[in-house]
Structure 1
Amino acid sequence: MSPQPPPPQPWTSVDDYFSDLLAPPDEALTAALRDSDTAGLPQINVTPNQGKLLHLLARTQGARRILEIGTLGGYSTIWLARALPADGRLITLEYKPEHAEVARANLARAGLDKVTEVRVGPALDSLAALGAAHAEHPAPFDFVFIDADKANNPHYVEWSLQLTRPGSLIVLDNVVRGGAVTDADDPDPAVRGTRAALDLMARHPKLSATAVQTVGAKGYDGFALARVLD
């Protein structure tokens, strides 16, 4: 007999309950996940209830301009873009062209291609281009979601500071690293980058931040929130 899979952890069932009750899927979101899987994209999207949290945070923020660093297939992008007003704008940065192609199709099917722009290439290059445009025609972002390669997290936080305004909100995902974030000697670049980003959030005079642990369908993780101060 083949070994039986382990029973689901209770927090997975709770995540499913919360998502089904409070963040039920619709055709565009379901199709975005399906087409991402078909295209072979890694299954590292935010969960539905996490996507709903991003949506509510952006709406509570009154965000008119949103920056997302790390697009993947556009699932979180859909949640964020749906929080925008009719004249809002979201720019999302994706390293891999094949991921960006999937994301653009998902955003178009969701009716969000007119308010979103997927920029392809290394995020630091795209951020530098945004910084140059910001210097000439400043239009700050009200909300930033960082969910890309973790080694560059401190650089992404630094750029977010340059591209936002007092009162903007920065969300940094995947900060717990299964608990490894507490180990100052861990050589993993993702852990080191996350620790450096959190240290920056803690000491920067223009940021007020906190971090929250989570457990659910994606395992043991968490996120950090930082508000840009005057």
Structure 2
Amino acid sequence: MTKEEFIKKNKGMIVSPELQKTMDDFAGAWRAFLDRYQTSFDETKNEFENYLLKNGKLIPKDINAFMNWASIIYPDAPIGYLVTLAKNPYSFKMYHDYRERCHLNNDWSDEKEFEFLQNEIAEPQQNITSKLIYDLFEQGTKNGWQDIFNIEDDYHKFVGILTEYFEFKKLNINDISFKLKRTTKTKTASILRDVHKNLSNIPLKSDFEFFRIIKLLHHFKDDPDNDIYKALIK
């Protein structure tokens, strides 16, 4: 609903000064947020624009269009996570699919999109965050998880922990550890560096919670944070 539609629908409604101030403050904060991240959004969009256009993908015209769609998928997500989505190239593919559904279905609504996506991303592999993490592990190895993990279930559990972290969920990772194959420390560090680069706004050097997750992998369990950082940036 646009501002004009809202005013027309609620013409004559009396709003208390306190509520009006709250509404104005929220509108101002949202505008400031959009202005702040417009540049990084544009950089991501421009970086993939040629590829997306070449492959017939629709591109959001601006950050407003993108954020409106993102808020349908994650209505309760903090703003920081929406920023993470805006940095994720896979999000643009999902946005294209959304616009295509709107085009093919005249009655497609936000409610239908939400219901559709809840079914679509119900499995961890389909979650937009875990999808990117899985993709990066696949791209960084020759044979997928088998090149790094001894047990496939450990691989999925570790991706699940990373997903929860980058979606700002509370972690319970006490007494958890994962044994990796020999001589895979450098390869694993390289993949995790790319994961962090794609999904986090926190400077890598000071992301101590991310280091704590990495220490779940037995290659890194006794390493000081600074040594883990050095391994990641090699």
For the aligned pair, the TM-score class normalised by the smaller chain equals: 0.3 to 0.5
TM-score (norm 2): 0.33
- Highest RCO, 1 vs 2 (Cα 8 Å, sep ≥ 6): 1
Q: Which has the higher Rg, Structure 1 or Structure 2?
A: 2
| Structure with greater helix percent | 2
| Structure with greater strand percent | 1
TM-score (norm 1): 0.33
